[in-house]
Amino acid sequence: MPSIYLFYIFLTSLFTVLVLIPPISRLAVSIGIFDGVDGRKAHTGSIPRLGGIAIFFAVLLAIILFVDIDRHTRGFLAGGVVIFLTGLTDDLVGLPARKKMLGQLVAALIVTVVGDISLTSLGDLFGTGAIELGYLSIPFTMFAIVGVINAINLMDGLDGLAGGVTAIAATALAIIAFNTGNQPLVALSVALLGGVIGFLKFNSYPAKIFMGDGGSLFLGYSLACFSIHLVEHDNGQISIMVPVIILAVPICDTCYVMARRLYYRRPPFAPDRIHIHHRIMNLGIGHRATVVLVYGLSYLLAVYGVMSQHLSDRNQLIVLVLLVYGYSVILRLLAHFLHHHPSFFLRDDRPFLNVFTYRWMVRYSQHLLVVAKYVVVAILFLTIFITNRPGFDLASVAGLLIILTIVLILQTNNWSNRFLQFVLYFNGAFLVYVMENYGRETILYGLQPHLLSTCLFLLLFMVSGGMLFLRKKSRLLMSSPMEYFILFIVIAIPLLPHTFTGPRHLLTVAGKSLILFLSYKMIFMLKARRNRKIIVATLLALLACGIRSIM
């Protein structure tokens, strides 16, 4: 499958969620499907909870349009329909725990039998030889699928938490699948990633809509199936511990909660406030900070999972146990620290980076903002002068980005809209990619636009650093979990194989995109409506890229 198809899959899933969420939200309001307030819930108002419909149909559409439907994919879709309908029924009319569990078991049985995926071995976890499952293969596979389904479902306790953890896990699984040549799994993971990122636009704190059980059960089911597919592909090239490490946060949290409930002789699915996010918030840490902390833990484990795929099963298990123990120690130390420092910044929802701001402000620092804005405009306009033809694939991408940007501008009067900013970040990163890969051979008045772009980025880096340290308040510099997730994705690029990053100069693209991301955020957070020049420059550069590619 050509790499550009993965981008089409991602955009298809992303666009579908963005289109479906508003009418679904209105439908949920009209029929009274809300997630109410109780002692366990972190939100303070009634929020519609049918967002899982958009995620499911976004993934389904992307798969139907771009993915070859083989036996594994057919089984995944068949079981996915069952698990989605189970969750949706629970959202609409409510289901007893036994019936919901029955739906999960049926979905797990379908994907195992129809999709022909099952765990045949647990690997050499204890250094005594491989643990073969034999006749227990199918029952154990079903148990694993149901376990991950419930782990993600129980993780859905804070705005954007389950979606962000799923997105991080899907990214890690896609990277490993790409490394092992498992192209179908890469496509499925990218489809899920696009749908979840689109949903996070509406589900990040403060959430406008929840995914409900229809979404959380489907996300858990998808991650479980992808993990098994990854392990069983190519004769067990990947250890079973790799997906366990990637999903360690929801899995370990669920095991802890279930064990604690059984120890105190309570039903294993009885509601309470002992999940990882509840325990962090009980320390006095704010909602947004809690989500970002769990994101960070999930990200670190995902990075370790990607990097440790060639270690022995036993070593991976030992390191995972040490990491879980280390987390518990850190949590206790954090509780002790907050007890003695009650005014620490984590005790409310102020952004993390505010801790680095200074109490003084240079009188003319506003001029740096103007300089940064025009440097960004110059960087974007340089793309217009590239003489090489990027090709029809990039032309279609540029056209889609133009349409998405214009639609978002027309749909909202709020020029500081977070998702519009996210799209502009993405547009800028795309133009950086075009410059790095197609602008190296261009000569403009004796100068190379590529080298000129590098000089401008160095200037932008210094100006952005000056603004960061000279502004009295870096208000909202990192104001939502989605923006932390963008940073996680950029940092994850070096984990991709060199055969993929090298020819496409992705490391350079990632570094420059990170500078552009921080510059955009500091520009847009102050009087965003006055920064239309950046939007116009972005659209013109995309238009020039598209026209040049098809001429």
Distance, C-alpha 171 to centroid of its chain: 7
Given a cut of 60, whether residue 42 has pLDDT beyond it is no
pLDDT in tens, 359-406: 434 455 566 777 888 888 888 888 887 766 666 677 788 888 888 888
Q: What is the pLDDT of residue 112?
A: 93
Question: Across all residues in the chain, what is the average pLDDT?
Answer: 79
pLDDT in tens, 287-330: 787 888 888 888 888 888 888 777 788 888 888 888 888 877 87
Q: What is the pLDDT of residue 147?
A: 92
Given a cut of 60, whether residue 345 has pLDDT beyond it is no
**Average of pLDDT values for 417-428?**
76
With cut-offs at 50, 70 and 90, classify the pLDDT of residue 418. Answer: low
pLDDT in tens, 260-281: 888 877 776 666 677 888 788 8
CA–CA gap between residue 150 and residue 220 (Å, rounded): 7
Say how many C-beta atoms besides its own lie within 10 A of residue 469's C-beta.
Answer: 13
Greater confidence, 53 or 293? 53
With cut-offs at 50, 70 and 90, classify the pLDDT of residue 185. Answer: very high
User: At residue 345, what is the residue type?
Assistant: F
Given a cut of 50, whether residue 472 has pLDDT beyond it is no
Window from 36-45, 316-325, 351-360 with minimum mean pLDDT: 351-360
Q: What is the pLDDT of residue 57?
A: 95
CA–CA gap between residue 10 and residue 197 (Å, rounded): 10
Q: What is the pLDDT of residue 361?
A: 43
**Average of pLDDT values for 83-89?**
94
User: At residue 40, what is the residue type?
Assistant: R
pLDDT in tens, 424-457: 788 888 888 888 877 777 666 656 677 778 888 8
pLDDT in tens, 194-233: 999 989 888 887 888 899 899 999 999 999 999 999 988 7
Half-sphere exposure of 273 (CA within 13 A, CB side): 12
Given a cut of 60, whether residue 476 has pLDDT beyond it is no
Task: Count helices and strands (H / E) in the chain.
Answer: 21, 2
Task: Please state the φ and ψ torsions of residue 132, each to the nearest 5 degrees.
Answer: -85, 135
Cα distances (angstroms) measured from residue 150 to each of 59, 82, 145, 223, 310: 20, 15, 9, 11, 29
Q: Ranked by mean pLDDT, which of 117-126, 150-159, 504-513 comes out on top?
A: 150-159
With cut-offs at 50, 70 and 90, classify the pLDDT of residue 352. Answer: very low
With cut-offs at 50, 70 and 90, classify the pLDDT of residue 166. Answer: very high
Q: What is the pLDDT of residue 497?
A: 66
Max CA-CA distance within the chain?
Answer: 78
Given a cut of 70, whether residue 128 has pLDDT beyond it is yes
Half-sphere exposure of 428 (CA within 13 A, CB side): 29
Residues 6+ apart with CB under 8 A from 492: 171, 172, 175, 299, 302, 303, 306
Helix (H) or strand (E) holding 48: strand 47-48
Given a cut of 90, whether residue 59 has pLDDT beyond it is yes
**Average of pLDDT values for 402-415?**
73
Write the DSSP assignment of 381-403 as a string of letters: HHGGG--S---HHHHHHHHHHHH
Q: What is the pLDDT of residue 479?
A: 58
Q: What is the pLDDT of residue 309?
A: 74
Helix (H) or strand (E) holding 35: strand 34-35
Q: Ranked by mean pLDDT, which of 135-139, 303-307, 522-526 comes out on top?
A: 135-139
Window from 63-77, 172-186, 495-509 with minimum mean pLDDT: 495-509
Distance, C-alpha 344 to centroid of its chain: 28
Tokens at 451, concatenated:
């080298």
pLDDT in tens, 14-38: 889 989 998 998 888 888 877 655 5
Q: What is the pLDDT of residue 159?
A: 84
With cut-offs at 50, 70 and 90, classify the pLDDT of residue 516. Answer: confident
Q: What is the pLDDT of residue 264?
A: 79
Q: What is the pLDDT of residue 341?
A: 66
With cut-offs at 50, 70 and 90, classify the pLDDT of residue 475. Answer: very low
CA–CA gap between residue 34 and residue 47 (Å, rounded): 5
